[in-house]
Chains A and B, each alone.
Chain A
Amino acid sequence: MLEAFNFRVILEYMPLYMQCFLATLWLSALSLVGAIVVGIIACSMRLSQSRVLSRIAGIYIESIRSTPLLVQLYFFYFGLPSMGIMLPEWVTGVFALTLNSGAYYAEIIRAGIQAIAYGQIEAGIASGLNYFQRMRYIILPQALGMTIRPMLGQAIVLVKDSSLLSLISIMELTRAGQLLTSDRFMPAEGFLTTAAFYLLIYYLLKTFSSWSEKRLIFREAQ
């Protein structure tokens, strides 16, 4: 069966794959950091006492979660220029991924925060900590620790979603597979190689998350 596989062509395209692999890595990493920051901000707004802030965050989270990423991406790429906003491809891509995953992170973190017993918050209030201090010292450290698994899940989704960036002419892993396929008409070689690289990223992420989970639990035990 493997004789049917043209490894020579895969090797020939390896430099392209490596270049695109690195592109997927840094685009995803940048979007991931952005998405977690956006998620924390949106979640704090969603849970804040202010009706206005909570409403704004609610609209953001709902409108993002109810529309496909591809539509958002095409809107930012083809729609915004007609409104006079012109961004380079990679900025558009990272922006769309950040905004999209940010909404999901907001919900994940909210679930983590709401899982914390209300007594702890009352204790915080009783100790004279303000809203920001309660978030920083009591709630977020626990909520982030508890949500590492769902956050990893969302990070994997984000990496996979980055494949859509190929559609706005960004060179990344999926585009490498498409190029091999359209140059040599070898879809099996092209896309299986692409899939192998995504699998590699998945294992990197998984290793990182179990390492950080252990570290967090260890720190709590101290």
Chain B
Amino acid sequence: MKKAAGLSVIASMVCLFVLSGFVSAGTLEEIAKRGELRVACQTQGAPFSFVDKNGERTGSSIELVNLIAEEMGVKVKFLNYDWDGLIPALLSGKADMLAADMTPTLKRAMKISFVDPYMYTGSVVFVKQDSPLKSIEDVKKTGTKLAVLLGSTGENDAKKAFPDAELKTYKGGGPILLNAVIAGHTDAGVNDGSAVRGQSASFPPNSIRVLDGQLSNSPLSFAVRYDSPDLREWLNLFFLHIKLDGRLENNLNYWVNSLDWKKDH
């Protein structure tokens, strides 16, 4: 009985390693042959990638991916993950690329290969509307409880900016942080600014307040595996093209720099 359990564990591990060995070079060719681009993304990451009130998947990153597939001449398959599941999904070969509002940190770049950034953003601190905390300085007090997302840039920025605060780490998407702050489990939350502003729009008006200032200034970019240099080069060229012909600006102005999308989604 014990032996059998041990054997099955070993057998399943062997399967994992063998499967990961099948990921070979020539990702672009593979995608073209398959006729399908597989993309790891979030479902709770408004305004970048989320499911709107009509039940349709949409957002800035999703629209960009649709453009990518259109230019490639293939269909898209979106794979849903929580924030901390995105990189493992890419690494395990389940997805060809990762499309999220992800900062290409040096730590992440040890594992995955980022294409050139397409926009810049930063972490912000938000509190409940009636909170006594007025500024980022107030949050620096010892014992302040902060909600952060497991594996996010906000988590790192919060550790650096508020060494004396108590961090509570949540899994899922940005809205769960808003829920934790509104429910009073934490005094404040730290997450990407465009995400916080986009997501708070779906909560009752005036439930949260974003404190002035940013904790960091960080780029956002899509990512591929290091064994897909061809796909990375292609994506860099793609972003150059849409930067020059204005399609990127249109996308960001609609989704990120304003709340225009709220009317339609």
Binding site for B on A (CB under 8 A): 1, 4, 77-78, 81-82, 86, 89, 166-169, 175, 178-179, 181-183, 185, 187-188, 192
Question: Within 8 Å CB of B91, what residues of A?
Answer: 185, 187
Which of A89, A183, A187, A192 is B185 in contact with, Cβ under 8 Å?
Answer: A89
In angstroms, how far is the closest chain A Cβ from the Cβ of B21?
10
Q: How far is the CA of A178 from the CA of B172 in the complex (A)?
A: 12
Contact B88 A185 (CB under 8 A): yes
Provide the residues of chain B in CB contact with A166, threshold 8 Å.
171
Decide yes or no: A178 and B150 within 8 Å by CB, A1-B14, A167-B171, A185-B108 being known contacts: yes
CA A13 – CA B13 in complex, angstroms?
A: 21
Q: With A and B bound together, what is the CA distance between A4 and B108 in angstroms?
A: 19
The distance in angstroms between the C-alpha atoms of A167 and B168, with both chains bound, is 11
Chain B interface residue count, CB cutoff 8 Å, equals 27
Decide if A82 touches B84 in the complex (CB within 8 Å): no
Query: Residues of A contacting B172 with CB < 8 Å?
Result: 167
A131 to B189: give the CA distance in the assembly, Å. Answer: 55
Q: Contact: A81 with B171, CB < 8 Å?
A: no
Q: Are A187 and B88 neighbours in the complex by a CB distance under 8 Å?
A: yes
B13 touches A82 (CB 8 A): no
Q: A167-B172, A185-B108 are in contact. Are A77 and B185 (CB under 8 A)?
A: yes
**Residue among B88, B108, B183 making CB contact with A82, cutoff 8 Å:** B183
Q: Which residues of B contact A192 (CB under 8 A)?
A: 13
A-contact bits for B100-134, CB 8 A (1 contact / 0 none): 00000001101110000000000000000000000
Chain B residues lying within 8 Å of A78, measured Cβ to Cβ, are: 179-180, 183
Q: Which residues of B are in contact with A by a Cβ distance under 8 Å? A: 13-14, 16-17, 84, 87-88, 91-92, 107-108, 110-112, 147, 150-151, 168-172, 179-180, 183-185
Write out the residue numbers on chain A whose beta carbons fall within 8 Å of the beta carbon of B14: 1
Q: Which of B17, B112, B185 has the most CB of A within 10 A?
A: B185
Known pairs A78-B183, A167-B171; A185 contacts B150 (CB<8 A):
no
**A169 to B84 alpha-carbon distance, docked (Å):** 14
Assess the A169–B169 pair: CB atoms within 8 A: yes
Residues of A within 8 A of B179 (CB): 78
User: What 9 A-B pairs have minimum CB-CB distances, sorted nearest first?
Assistant: A182-B151, A81-B183, A169-B168, A185-B111, A187-B88, A182-B84, A185-B87, A78-B179, A78-B183
On chain A, the residues within 8 Å of B171 by CB distance are 166-167, 178
Known: A167-B172, A185-B88. A1 touches B13 (CB 8 A): yes
Nearest-neighbour CB distance to chain A for B29, whole angstroms, equals 26
Alpha-carbon gap, A81 to B169, bound state (A):
19
